[in-house]
């Protein structure tokens, strides 16, 4: 993993947006894996600004990680709505190239299989943006999710902060689906993510901390602020590696 520690949440978002915009400029038909939650909001805001400055999304294909089951796409908590509000309504994506699991489907198994097939048909995901949950989950892969899991139905754990008014069932890409992306970019900021970040980067590879599966991925960039980095044992060494890194080198240690 490449660990990039920056001074503020704003720098986390700006750094991630820079990587995504760089890919889209280099490869206008890039396939992006996108996430929701509070973490990526400013990344999307920055991409909207870059679009206004000329960045073209018309040939980009997107796949979102997950969605609630049974929540209408117009519901404020629906990931369809959040993505529309934060990104898709403000850039020139081609609607047919935008994919989010359909939580309103009558046939969940079929929807999940079709989602995997659509990712393959698009040539796989070039860059997957990820957040991390306080219990170490990625997408909606809760602790004990199979490390080789694919897109499927999940039941969410009850945990502090989980909105009781929202469905407990979701469709989520699996950990195996995420690991197939060619580059994973995980962002986190704030003290409340520090423990999960330390477990992901320095803890054992375990289904109990789903994000630790990224230790097996050949090209993962973890972008965090000082607060989210505060429980890392080797933080100083990660900083030094970034300082010594040859220009343009990206990737694992
Ligand atoms: C939800 C999402 C995840 C996200 C996580 C963290 O579980 N399904 O994709 O990473 O929340 O959310 P936040 O960024 O708001 O802390």
Best mutation site among 16, 36, 40, 63 for ligand 1, i.e. most ligand atoms within 8 A of its Cβ?
36
- CA terminus-to-terminus distance, the chain: 6
In ligand 1, the atom with minimum distance to the C-alpha of 193 is: 16
Q: What is the pLDDT of residue 244?
A: 93
State yes or no: is 135 an active-site residue.
Answer: yes
Of the candidates 38, 191, 46, 32, the one whose C-alpha atom is nearest the C-alpha of residue 125 is 32
Establish whether residue 65 lines the binding site of ligand 1, counting it when its CB lies within 6 angstroms of any ligand atom.
yes
What are 38's two structure tokens?
A: 């509070």
What are 68's two structure tokens?
A: 């609630």
What are 188's two structure tokens?
A: 């986190």
Q: What is the pLDDT of residue 60?
A: 98
Write out the chain's pLDDT in tens, 253 residues. 999 999 999 999 999 999 999 999 999 999 999 999 999 999 999 999 999 999 999 999 999 999 999 999 999 999 999 999 999 999 999 999 999 999 999 999 999 999 999 999 999 999 999 999 999 999 999 999 999 999 999 999 888 878 889 999 999 999 999 999 999 999 999 999 999 999 999 999 999 999 999 999 999 999 999 999 999 999 999 999 999 988 766 655 5
CA of 95 to the centre of ligand 1 (A): 24
State yes or no: is 66 an active-site residue.
Answer: yes
Total H helices, total E strands in the chain: 7, 10
Report the distance separating Cα 83 and Cα 68, nearest Å.
Answer: 13
CA of 45 to the centre of ligand 1 (A): 17
Report the distance separating Cα 11 and Cα 225, nearest Å.
Answer: 8
CA of 253 to the centre of ligand 1 (A): 26
Q: Which of the residues 51, 99, 137, 217 is marked catalytic?
A: 137
Report the distance separating Cα 25 and Cα 30, nearest Å.
Answer: 9
Q: What is the pLDDT of residue 250?
A: 65
Best mutation site among 9, 12, 16, 37 for ligand 1, i.e. most ligand atoms within 8 A of its Cβ?
37
Q: Which of the residues 142, 180, 183, 217 is marked catalytic?
A: 142
Q: What is the pLDDT of residue 245?
A: 87
Q: What is the pLDDT of residue 252?
A: 53
Establish whether residue 126 lines the binding site of ligand 1, counting it when its CB lies within 6 angstroms of any ligand atom.
no
Residue owning the nearest CA to atom 7 of ligand 1: 140
CA of 247 to the centre of ligand 1 (A): 31
Placement of tokens 């073209």 in the chain = 56
The DSSP bridge partners found for residue 6 are 225
Placement of tokens 């960039």 in the chain = 221
Q: What is the pLDDT of residue 207?
A: 98
In our burial notation (b when 16+ CB lie closer than 10 A, e otherwise), range 57-69 reads: beebbbbbbbbbb
DSSP string, 189-208: -SGGGHHHHHHHHHS---TT
Establish whether residue 37 lines the binding site of ligand 1, counting it when its CB lies within 6 angstroms of any ligand atom.
yes
Best mutation site among 131, 151, 162 for ligand 1, i.e. most ligand atoms within 8 A of its Cβ?
131
């Amino acid at each position: 993993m490449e660990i990039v520690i920056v001074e503020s949440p704003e720098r986390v978002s700006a750094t991630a947006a820079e990587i995504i915009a760089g890919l889209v400029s280099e490869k206008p038909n890039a396939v992006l894996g996108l996430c929701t939650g509070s973490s990526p909001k400013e990344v999307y805001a920055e991409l909207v600004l870059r679009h206004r400055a000329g960045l073209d999304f018309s040939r980009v294909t997107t796949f979102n990680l997950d969605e609630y089951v049974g929540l209408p796409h117009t519901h404020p908590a629906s990931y369809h709505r959040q993505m529309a509000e934060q990104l898709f309504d403000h850039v020139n994506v081609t609607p047919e190239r935008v994919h989010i699991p359909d939580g309103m489907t009558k046939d969940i198994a079929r929807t999940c299989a079709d989602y995997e097939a659509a990712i393959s048909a698009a040539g796989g995901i070039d860059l997957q943006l990820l957040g991390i949950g306080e219990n170490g989950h990625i997408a909606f892969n809760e602790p004990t999710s199979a490390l080789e899991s694919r897109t499927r139905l999940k039941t969410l754990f009850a945990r502090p902060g989980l909105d009781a008014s929202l469905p407990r069932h979701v469709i989520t890409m699996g950990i195996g689906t995420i690991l197939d992306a060619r580059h994973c970019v995980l962002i986190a900021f704030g003290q409340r993510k520090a423990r999960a970040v330390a477990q992901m980067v320095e803890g054992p590879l375990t289904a109990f901390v789903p994000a630790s599966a990224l230790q097996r991925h050949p090209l993962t960039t973890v972008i965090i602020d000082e607060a989210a980095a505060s429980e890392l044992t080797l933080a100083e060494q990660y900083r030094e590696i970034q300082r010594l890194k040859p220009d343009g080198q990206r990737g694992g240690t």
